[in-house]
Structure 1
Amino acid sequence: MLETVNEELELGHTGMISVKRFFYDSYSKSVNRSIFDGLQVDMVSFAMELLNSNSSDEQLIGVRILERFTANSKFFQDTFQRIGITLSVMERLVEMLNWKDPQEEIRMSAGKIIVKLVGKKQNALRVAGIPGAMESISSLLQTELIRDHGDYDFWAFNQLGLLILKKLARDHDNCGKIGNTRGVTGTQLRTEISELVFTISYIRDILKYGENHPRLQKLGIDILTSLALEDDATERIGGTGGVLKELFNIFFVETQNDVRIAAGEALGMLAFESKRNCHRILKLNVIHKLSNALESPLIRVNVARILRNLCIYSGTGYFEELRTIITAAPTVSYLIYSKLLD
């Protein structure tokens, strides 16, 4: 019977532990309380109870069940609905994101659940409203310990953190997700994310050390681009040492085309209407490289946007630095104009 239940629920090779524990728990409640208490227990409520246990083994069983149920097309809708209305469960899952060894599997499973959970607007707002949520999510982005812990899959945790942040900050469609308009909701979430300075520094490190993980680099760049919709966030990103430099490094030398294009779009956004960021870019001495990059069909439009923004928003006092751009002005104007027509 236990094997049949495990197979029907698709709990995987570790599921027998969960199923045995579930039936034992239900039987105990029936004996010690009443038969009705035992019958009212279902697998989801059982898992939720275990999340709040003080035992790491019980916590692991609970989060395993929820992860499997949220990945199952037969159960995920009801499971997410119940998680979404149970604040204590969401708080516990968010707390688990910040747990380190020996709870690696607990942390990973909690992250996978939350990635899916924040796909809906209401759930995203609830998660973002949990005290310390942004700090816990950002803890998934840590990279400084990678070389010291070869067995710990930091890149997998980085991906979970980036996916969660992207769903909180990006442009969403009309399927009940957060929009990137300048209304209250999107602005509030992007502000909360960008106010955590170490979040941006973690993304910078992913850009710097993630050359073998281009998908993660692109996720990080997409988040920076979304955050740049807010003026304050734009200044924080530009003011975090090394972010602009790493974006340009990717823009000029990265072999993955989609990552290069994303980096160019982010740089264009960060230079738009930001005198300080324009000055920071000029101090990186990248003007000649940008001018030469106008010959590259892949990135020339984004190059033109960056150069155009530098000319418009740098202000006075940078004539020598901008002299090269002036000679390229006809090309820049043509590219911008033709792109607008497209």
Structure 2
Amino acid sequence: MRAMPDFALKRFFNQPAAATARANLSPSFAEPLGTATLLALESGAAERFAALPLGYTTAFGAVTLREAIAARYERIGPDEVIVACGGDDILPSLFMATLQPGDHVVVHSPVYQPLARLGAWCGAAVSLWAAEEEAGWAPSLAGLRPLLRPNTRLIVTNFPHSPTGFVPDRAYLEGLIVLADGAGATLVGDEIYRGLPLDAAGEAPSLADLSARAVVLNSVSKTYGLPGLRVGWLATRDAAILGAVRDFRLYQNSYIGAPMEFLATLAVRHADHILAGNLTLARENLAALRAFLGRNADRFSWVPPRGGVVAFPRWLGDEPTSALGDRLLRDHGLLLAPSAYFAGGERHVRIGFGTASATAGLALLEEALRA
């Protein structure tokens, strides 16, 4: 039996002490919405939801949901979308359907652990393509070239990036596509933080719109503030990958629950409204985070994020950030995720600023640091 790699980040947030923590300083999502809020988005939605039959749903997602998702892209149709029970559900399906022992995968780093660990679990060799803090957390395209091999099967990116908040422009993505196509590799884009641009530059188009061979992943968990719905998706114009993932998921969980599907359809149909509210709160909280870091410039430095709801400031203290996180939880009841959980060394922390409690959490952190 093959042991699964340790998912240290999720273990950190689910340890017993986390359940009674005073504040989570590292949430990775926007302020969660309530069911009533979603149902109020459309006239008659509450009545339709109450009458919803709880039979089997359509494999790979209802047409209405896939149509709503496809409408968020420029060149993706409903038949080019596969819906799953969250991003953590569709990601293993993609890797297991496309990788075999002897393949090679390049992964953008710092990294959400499954993006790197699942490839290795499938028997592929994994190379980390490190972002550069001095370059605004942009991973260098020149640095990618020497990592590519004849057997490179996937190049896995995350834009807007978690935990740094880096957002590339269109020219950067087009250069990345050229490199991937030249290597014969499939470009995988984790785009779970699309929709919350924090500066005037905005966002480039999705990789799925720029490349017919790219595969993108997204969900309603992060920017929509709906992690409890557990609805995510894969989108691509690559028919071979669509077929392979569908075939794999027939042996896995090819359905999502009817209530989840109904509510997710409402959310995606009204994405512009939801994201606008979440962006307003994120920008307000980002201003508070900027002020906090300014007051504590002897303890932190940072590259401000350009998208999403998380930042990755550098800790200037003597102790490693894993020890800092342990100490803050033990002595002050504060959850602060260290950079080691993102293959990011021991000098950074992830701070979330998407929720209504973010500013109160910063006040508690400042109090703890000055204790």
- Range of TM-score over shorter length: under 0.3
Q: TM-score, normalised by structure 1?
A: 0.23
Higher relative contact order (CA 8 A, sep 6+): 2
Bigger helix share: 1
